[in-house]
Amino acid sequence: MRKFSISGPPAMRYPAFRAFWFAMVASVSGFQVLRFGQFWLIFELTGSPLALGYVGLANGVPAILLNLFGGVAADRLDQRRLIMAAQAIIAVLIFGLATLTLLDLVRVWHLLTMAFLAGAIEAFDQPARRALFPHLIERRDMMSAVAMNSAVWPGTRIAAPAAAGIIIAVFNTATAFYVSGAGFLVMAVVIFFLPVRRVAGRAQSGAFQDLKEGVGFVARNSIFSCLIALTFFNSFFGMAYIPLMPIFAVDVLKVGADGQGWLMGVGGAGSLMASIWFAVRGGNASKTLLIIGGGIMSGVSVAAFAVTSLWVGSFPLALILMFVVGVFNTMQNTALQASMQILVPDEIRGRVMGLYGMTYNIRPLGGMQAGALAGLITAPFAIAAGGLAVAVFAVGAALTNRDLRRLTGMVRESEARLDTGGEGEARPRTTAAG
């Protein structure tokens, strides 16, 4: 049995990955502060709850539509330079928004344009990030690295909005935007000095041909199409409860905005705790069991949360179930992304991760379908139906996809081949410290 250092997760032993991870913390914190400031400011300007939805829509639509092209760019271009450029451009845009806010010249269309441009740039940034970081570690530590990256989101979602609120209360919204831009700038600078050689695929004929090749690769390899389909179901159906949470907090459980904060907070805490556990100890776990079991249990937990909130009305029970949802959702997502990263060839990694990102970013559309269904059968039953859809699809995938059942063995074979310099990849470009 493999032994781990008590000093921390195995992935953090690699100096280059440590630098990348801390830069991610700065960048994602900047993103969280930006979203908080955008929502706060647009509500100040309009007083309209509908305007809040426009910000999310303006950010989400380009992120979904352009992810595939972002994956193509990640395979065609130097991934380091692509990330640097994306982070620097977003920082400049945020500084411009901050200056407009400071001078009291900001308007609603400025905020919507900023959200749209940021979403478009993120569609190129995210596949490049996902394609780059596997080159900073040995493949046997992929689970730890993916879990550490996953932990950044719930961790910053807890701390960054609180910091943004304090900055706005003590100073002003413009200051919060300047702090946000600084986070993106930190990422750009760290990536510039990151000790990893240029990572890009072979010469390509054209962007659309590359796009077709990436989609064809996923279609021909059932394990990748299965894993991406599982991600789609989880994003579109399993996470649809998030936009409808105000209905549960106000109309179903009757706990108000504070209660909604607690529900979302414990879900994030469950996700964070699971990420930390997998970062430290999850490398040898069965990927098949984690993906199938995580999908079934997260779906069932979402359904249980919805129906018990309606029929039992217990807030403590709802908190427990939200924590469970966070744990099992992270369990599935971490094992799923780690498996894809280990199995995908380098020359097509960006495009595959672009497809993965597109299905992952489709959550806002899942909220729309859940809202429409809630108008017909009420919100609790709409969310319960979505949760059960996730669980049923996980069971169906396990029964019908042979590659998913043998995924653990496939991953271990690939880890052994790649980390010993076998075909397809040399040993990592950076070495572990110590």
DSSP string of 282-299? -TTS-HHHHHHHHHHHHH
Question: Which of 168, 200, 211 minimizes the C-alpha distance to 354?
Answer: 211
**Which CATH number does the domain 206-425 belong to among 3.30.1120.130, 3.40.50.700, 1.20.1250.20, 1.10.3720.10?**
1.20.1250.20
Q: Are 180 and 37 in contact (CB under 8 A)?
A: yes
Q: Are 259 and 249 in contact (CB under 8 A)?
A: yes
Helices (H), 47-107: 49-76, 79-102
Tens digit of each residue's pLDDT (9 = 90 or more) over 198-208: 555 554 567 77
User: Which amino acid is present at 353?
Assistant: M
Handedness of CA 315, 321, 324, 326 (dihedral sign): negative
Decide: residue 123, CB within 10 A, 0-12 exposed, 13-18 middle, 19+ buried. Answer: buried
Q: Are 353 and 70 in contact (CB under 8 A)?
A: no
Q: Are 119 and 59 in contact (CB under 8 A)?
A: yes
Tens digit of each residue's pLDDT (9 = 90 or more) over 126-185: 999 988 888 888 888 888 899 998 888 888 877 887 788 888 888 888 999 999 999 999
| Domain 9-194 architecture | Up-down Bundle (1.20)
- CA dihedral 123→382→400→294, nearest 10 degrees, is 70
Single pTM value for the model: 0.84
Structure-token match 């930190």, residue found: 186
pLDDT, mean of residues 414-430: 52
Position with higher pLDDT, 258 vs 17:
17
Tens digit of each residue's pLDDT (9 = 90 or more) over 351-410: 898 888 888 777 777 877 888 888 889 889 999 999 999 999 999 999 999 999 999 888
Inform me whether the pLDDT recorded for 4 exceeds 90: no
Question: Which of 20, 113, 125 minimizes the C-alpha distance to 59?
Answer: 113
Position with higher pLDDT, 425 vs 347:
347
Q: How far is CA 118 from the centre of its chain?
A: 16
Tens digit of each residue's pLDDT (9 = 90 or more) over 294-341: 999 999 999 999 999 999 999 999 999 999 999 999 999 999 998 998
Which part of the chain is CATH 1.20.1250.20? 9-194, 206-425
- Quick one: pLDDT at residue 431? 41
pLDDT band at 424 (very low <50, low <70, confident <90, very high): very low
- Quick one: pLDDT at residue 232? 92
Percentage of the chain modeled with pLDDT above 90:
38
Question: Which of 327, 319, 309 minimizes the C-alpha distance to 264?
Answer: 319
Q: How far apart are CA 389 and CA 300, in angstroms?
A: 9
Q: How far apart are CA 50 and CA 268, in angstroms?
A: 25
Q: Between vectors from CA 25 to CA 23 and to CA 27, what angle results, nearest 5°? A: 70
What residues contact residue 197 under an 8 Å CB cut-off, 6+ apart? 429
